[in-house]
Amino acid sequence: QSVLTQPPSASGTPGQRVTISCSGSTSNIGSNSGNWYQQVPGTAPKLLIYSSYQRPSGVPDRFSGSKSGTSASLAISGLQSEDEADYYCAAWDDSLKSWVFGGGTKLTVL
């Protein structure tokens, strides 16, 4: 069981907006930043969002992150077929003195 909780699946049609949640606690997301990674099956993960809200250069602005209390969220607007992938949230945990990942959310573009 993961320290960070994500829904196992999400879906949407092309052009729609989809949101993926990540629930943590005061020792991880509550006191540190949430980060999001995209992984197309068979490839290495890619950083999508860091410091809860920031996008690395090259990541389309269709991807956005937010944080409220002990939860973080990833929103994808204008959904495209190439967005079909697994998405993971991650954060540093002050109590565990370790990084923790969510269990991952498989996004299907219908």
Partner 1 sequence: QEQLVESGGGVVQPGRSLRLSCAASGFTFSIYGMHWVRQSPGKGLEWVAVISKDGNNKYYADSVKGRFTISREDSKDTLYLEMNSLRGEDTAVYYCAKARGSFVYYDMDVWGQGTTVTVSS
Site string for partner 1, 70-89 (x = CB under 8 A): ----------------x-x-
Cβ proximity of 10 and 105 under 8 Å: yes
The residue among 1 and 13 lying less far from partner 1, judged by its C-beta, is: 1
Binders of partner 1 among residues 28 to 67 (CB under 8 A) are 32-33, 35, 37, 39, 44-47, 50, 56
The Cα 60–Cα 46 span in angstroms is 13
CA 80 centroid distance within chain = 17
99 binds partner 1 (CB under 8 A): yes
Nearest Cα residue to 73 out of 22, 6, 10: 22
Between CA 83 and CA 91 the distance in angstroms is: 22
CB of residue 44 to partner 1, shortest distance in Å: 4
Residue ranges in contact with partner 1 by CB under 8 A: 2, 32-33, 35, 37, 39, 44-47, 50, 56, 86, 88, 90, 92, 96-104
